[in-house]
Amino acid sequence: MLELIQTVNSAVNGVVWGPIMLVLLVGTGIYLTVRCGVLQARRFPFIMKNTLGSLFAKKDTVQRSEHNLTPVQAVSTALAGTVGTGNIAGVTGAIFTGGPGAVFWMWVSAFFGMMTKYAEIVLAVEYRQVDQKGAHFGGPMYYIEKGTGLKWLACLFALLGGLACFGIGNIAQSTEIAGAMESLVGLPPLYTGIILAVLTAVVLLGGVKRIGQVASYLVPFMALFYIVAGVAVIVLRIDHVPAALVSIFREAFSLEAVGGGVFGYTIMLAMQQGFARGVFSNEAGLGSAPIAHAASDTKEPVEQGMWGVFEVFVDTIVICTLTAMAVLLSGVLEYDLSDFASNGAAAAAAFNAILPGTVGGTVLQISLLFFALSTILGWSYYGQRCWGYLTNNNPVVDVLFKVIFILVCIAGAMGSGELMWSISDTLNGMMAIPNLIGLLLLSGTVVRLTRTYFSKH
């Protein structure tokens, strides 16, 4: 029976994360980019000023609700769920499989993904709900139902998200954390799982406000930590950077046949790997991040939507690129990926080859630990909101979900549930289907809100 389930899941996964689906994901970004007048490029300075620039501005005097997230807390929570092991292990695997050219196509997917995530967040804020306490909540399930009237499609998204949160958002991350802790301090997986469960419980039981507060401290720290290490790698091999960049652009358009295969196979492989890693990393189009942004107390949908552009920029253009440069500058591509225990081990070898001693490996383990922990916190809220939608925010179901999610941390740390992780990976990709349908049907609303906002600014 298990073999049958694995076979069926593998077949579905091949379609969900296959070329057709990736073209649909990127194609939606292209469509939204055209309809919004290439907003992510044309208004990029304005977007950075109102997102990154606002982090260094004086504290605003806007009255904030105790039940909602500030814009920064909302994007931190979204980044917590977005920035994960895919930024390190996923990018490394893509380069080994698709060559340096995969990095270029990853950038392309990120460019158009900026508009996809922007549109998701705009709609999430526009169609969000408010409970009796004044707390905001929303996401794709709400804008699909309220905007298109297709409640069955909204329920499908919520069901897929509610199931995927246990695998992609928990088990896969708990396994990475247990491996990192065992490597760093020799802590047995069971103890790691118990500690992780306690930490998750403390944050999760405190509600979305506590998740946002923790994420607003954790995400900037972990991002800065990894960025400093990545920049150090580039500085130490600065003389090799031009050659690495040349290889990225040259192999992105390479028409060579590999092993007597189809002419131009390398460019197709590079595109597939680049698009897949880009989408998997920044989650543009999957519909997860808008759930966090809907909890923001921002009144203007477009203003919160600009954080989506910033989010993809940080996740893919900055963090994923640093991983890619470490791999390209280190010389590890001279080996086969099978020579390493995992994609993460290959990334660690890349950093070790450049940074002094074993500093590189330690940096990677610590980064993976924080990336995985933040993903658990982000996805705990996504799952909570999905099950809340399906059960009309039933308090008993809410408590039951939290208890199960916390206990799954221990199971994941113990290395169990590989099949569930694989199935959740498929469900994670399937979330994009109802979400993309909603985005395309409501693209006119996104355009209208965007034009109205920028006519005033």
User: Does residue 33 fall inside a structural domain?
Assistant: yes
DSSP E strand stretches across 321-410 = none
Residue 265's pLDDT band (cuts 50, 70, 90)? low
User: Does residue 99 fall inside a structural domain?
Assistant: yes
The bridge status of strand 136-137 relative to strand 129-130 is antiparallel
pLDDT score, position 16: 77
pLDDT in tens, 332-359: 888 887 777 677 778 888 888 888 877 7
Q: Is the pTM of this model over 0.85?
A: yes
- How many other C-beta atoms lie within 10 A of the C-beta of residue 260? 6
User: Does residue 1 fall inside a structural domain?
Assistant: no
Q: Is the pLDDT of residue 269 over 80?
A: no
In the chain, the number of structural domains is 1
User: Does residue 2 fall inside a structural domain?
Assistant: no
User: What mean pLDDT value characterizes the chain?
Assistant: 84
User: Does residue 82 fall inside a structural domain?
Assistant: yes
User: Does residue 30 fall inside a structural domain?
Assistant: yes
pLDDT in tens, 213-253: 888 888 888 888 889 989 999 999 999 999 999 999 988 88
Q: Is the pLDDT of residue 421 over 70?
A: no
User: What's 135's domain CATH number?
Assistant: 1.20.1740
User: Does residue 340 fall inside a structural domain?
Assistant: yes
pLDDT score, position 262: 47
Structural domain including 270 reads 11-57+65-456
Once rounded to an integer, what is the mean pLDDT over residues 433-455?
Answer: 94
Ranges 30-39, 264-273, 342-351, 366-375: which has the least confidence: 264-273
pLDDT score, position 85: 72
The whole-angstrom distance between residue 155's C-alpha and the CA centroid of its chain comes to: 22
User: Does residue 3 fall inside a structural domain?
Assistant: no
Among 209, 84, 60, 205, which residue's Cα sits nearest to residue 137? 209
Among 170, 454, 128, 85, which residue's Cα sits nearest to residue 297? 128
pLDDT score, position 162: 92
Residue 175 near residue 162, CB atoms below 8 Å: no
Once rounded to an integer, what is the mean pLDDT over residues 240-268?
Answer: 72
d(CA 93, CA 211) in angstroms, rounded, equals: 31
pLDDT in tens, 191-206: 888 998 998 888 888 7
pLDDT in tens, 59-114: 554 555 666 677 778 778 777 777 777 788 788 888 888 889 889 999 999 999 99
341-348 contacts, C-beta under 8 A, 24 or more apart:
342/89, 343/88, 343/89, 343/90, 343/92, 343/93, 343/96, 344/85, 344/88, 344/89, 344/92, 344/176, 344/179, 344/368, 346/92, 346/93, 346/96, 347/88, 347/89, 347/91, 347/92, 347/323
Q: Would you give the DSSP letter of residue 69? A: B
